[in-house]
């Protein structure tokens, strides 16, 4: 689909090589023509791996495969295809995963359980995995340490720009790098945002420590974003540590480990949030990035549920598309969340200006900065529930004609 690049797009950062990771991409013609659609990411022997997957009860076959493979805690290869999600494909779907992993494992000289597969695209069509398998030898021969951008492009579906993020961190005074790529644009809702995300580090970190940091990082990033409330069947975030960097060994004791990994965990969270916000910036039809801060709720989880009710409200999202600071619809969405809320204690602000306080509009509040704010690309909504100390921040985008165009056309 020829769609203009999102007006919220950000430029791809420089992505230097990361020790122990090589990547390649190719055009296997699985669905798209004239573009790359399969990506191989090979990591050094001994790499550890963590993963977080969709909460959807009807997940794709690759999710089942990865969950089982994750039990080993080791990865050598990740193989991704775009255009066909291999979801609701029954035995054919399971066979496709196994055949892909077997073929990739032969090339990497590893067990199939060290190959992770991910698929994104249309649901319910059998994946022609013969095409995928046939592309693997060429992909393997093409593996290079500097192919990050091509990999980020090769996993795109309705995405209008490639997404990547990289940070330096230190472990015990030694530098390590974290680099991730992601794709996602629609079918984006928490648990998780509909997307694929592959993050790599050259640090040497045990799988269980990776898993704990990844789960916490996803909760504060992808699970705080929504485009359309629709939870994909294919959401996957993998975090792979190649162990190629030279740094002091991670201690086994929990407290000492946490101290040594504190900077790393912070940088990981940065990478995950950066990628999650890039996905929202590429939300189908998005014209505005919206940040919703809820304070004063009964608890943090309550604040998050309220914030997501606002973020998922079609009436709030269309109002933002119309550049209308319609705080009445925000009040409606707060109320529909079903969380503790007292209408007469509620305050709503937009762009740093409180418009309503304690259950009624503020007479004579200054509309001019609000109007100007609504015309911008980034909209901030503040909601104070006035009951307690709970707070949360979520991000979404507006709901526009572009979303209907993209999703109302035949079998996008």
- Where along the sequence are the contacts to a second copy (CB under 8 A)? 55-59, 85, 87-93, 122-126, 186-187, 189, 228-233, 312-315, 318-319, 321-324, 326-329, 331-341, 343-344, 346, 356, 358-361, 399-401, 403-404, 407-411
Q: Quick one: 59 or 162, whose CB is closer to a second copy? A: 59
Is 166 or 223 the residue whose CB approaches a second copy more closely?
223
Q: How far is the CB of 284 from a second copy (least distance, A)?
A: 9
CB of 157 to a second copy, least distance (A): 13
Nearer residue to a second copy within complex by CB, 20 or 60? 60
Any binding-site annotation on 194? Answer: yes
Return d(Cα 398, Cα 286) in angstroms, integer. 6
**Of 194, 226, 233, 400, catalytic:** 194
- Nearer to a second copy by C-beta: 271 or 399? 399
**84 annotated ligand-binding residue:** no
412 is in an annotated binding site: yes
d(C-alpha 240, C-alpha 259), whole Å: 21
What are the DSSP calls for 304-333, one per residue? Answer: HHHHHHHHT-HHHHHHHHTT---HHHHHHH
CB of 7 to a second copy, least distance (A): 16
Strand, helix or coil for residue 169: strand
Which residues, 6+ apart, have CB-to-CB distance to 15 below 8 Å? Answer: 148, 149, 164, 166, 179
Residue 194 bears catalytic tag: yes
The SS3 call for residue 96 is helix
Q: How far apart are CA 106 and CA 50, in angstroms?
A: 23
Q: How far apart are CA 73 and CA 48, in angstroms?
A: 6
| Alpha helices, H only, 174-253 | 207-219
Q: Tell the smallest beta-carbon distance from residue 304 to a second copy (Å).
A: 16
User: For residue 88, is it left (φ>0), alpha (ψ between -120 and 50) or beta?
Assistant: left
- Nearest CA to 207 out of 169, 238, 162, 163 is that of 238
Q: How far is the CB of 110 from a second copy (least distance, A)?
A: 29
| 407 annotated ligand-binding residue | yes
Residue 398 three-state SS = coil
Of the pair 102, 342, the CB lying nearest a second copy is at 342
Upper half-sphere CA count for residue 288 (Cβ side, 13 Å)? 26
Phi first, then psi: give them for residue 205, nearest 5 degrees.
Answer: -135, 130
Buried/exposed 234-249: b ≥16 CB within 10 Å, e otherwise: bbbbbbbbbbbbebee
Closer of 144 and 401 to a second copy (Cβ)? 401
Q: How far is the CB of 159 from a second copy (least distance, A)?
A: 16
Annotated binding site: 157, 183, 194, 284, 407, 412
Annotated binding site for substrate: 157, 183, 194, 284, 407, 412
The residues annotated with a catalytic role in the active site are 194
């Amino acid at each position: 689909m020829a769609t203009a690049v999102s007006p919220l797009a950000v430029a791809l950062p420089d992505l230097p090589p990361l020790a122990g990771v090589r990547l390649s991409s190719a055009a296997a013609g699985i669905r798209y023509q004239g573009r790359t659609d399969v990506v191989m990411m090979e990591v050094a022997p001994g790499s550890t791996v963590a993963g977080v997957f969709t909460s959807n009860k009807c997940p794709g076959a690759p999710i089942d495969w990865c969950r089982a493979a994750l039990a080993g805690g080791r990865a050598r290869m990740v193989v991704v295809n775009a255009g066909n999600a291999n979801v609701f494909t029954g035995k054919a779907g399971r066979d496709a995963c196994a055949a892909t992993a077997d073929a990739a494992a032969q090339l990497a000289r590893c067990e199939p359980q060290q190959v992770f597969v991910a698929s994104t695209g249309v649901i319910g069509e059998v994946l022609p995995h013969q095409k995928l398998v046939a592309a693997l030898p060429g992909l393997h021969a093409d593996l290079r340490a500097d192919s990050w951008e091509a990999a980020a492009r090769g996993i795109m579906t309705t995405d209008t720009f490639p997404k990547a993020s990289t940070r330096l961190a230190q472990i015990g005074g030694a530098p390590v790098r974290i680099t991730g790529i992601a794709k996602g644009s629609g079918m984006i809702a928490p648990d998780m945002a509909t997307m694929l995300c592959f993050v790599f580090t050259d640090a040497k970190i045990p799988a269980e420590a990776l898993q704990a940091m990844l789960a916490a990082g996803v909760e504060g990033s992808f699970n705080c974003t929504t485009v359309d409330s629709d939870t994909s069947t294919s959401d996957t975030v993998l975090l792979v540590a190649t162990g190629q960097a030279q740094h002091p060994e991670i201690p086994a004791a929990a407290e000492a480990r946490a101290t040594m990994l504190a900077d790393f965990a912070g940088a990981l969270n940065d990478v995950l949030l950066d990628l999650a916000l890039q996905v929202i910036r590429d939300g189908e039809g998005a014209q505005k990035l919206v940040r919703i801060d809820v304070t004063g709720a009964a608890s943090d989880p309550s604040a998050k549920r309220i914030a997501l009710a606002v973020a998922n409200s079609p009436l709030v999202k269309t109002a933002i598309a119309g550049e209308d600071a319609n705080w009445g619809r925000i009040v409606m969405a707060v109320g529909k969340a079903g969380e503790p809320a007292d209408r007469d204690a509620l305050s709503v602000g937009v762009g740093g200006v409180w418009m309503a306080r304690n259950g009624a509009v503020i007479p004579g509040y200054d509309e001019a900065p609000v109007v100007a704010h609504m015309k911008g690309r980034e909209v901030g909504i503040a909601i104070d529930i006035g009951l307690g100390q709970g707070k949360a921040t979520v991000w979404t985008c507006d709901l526009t004609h572009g979303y209907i165009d993209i999703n109302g056309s035949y079998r996008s």
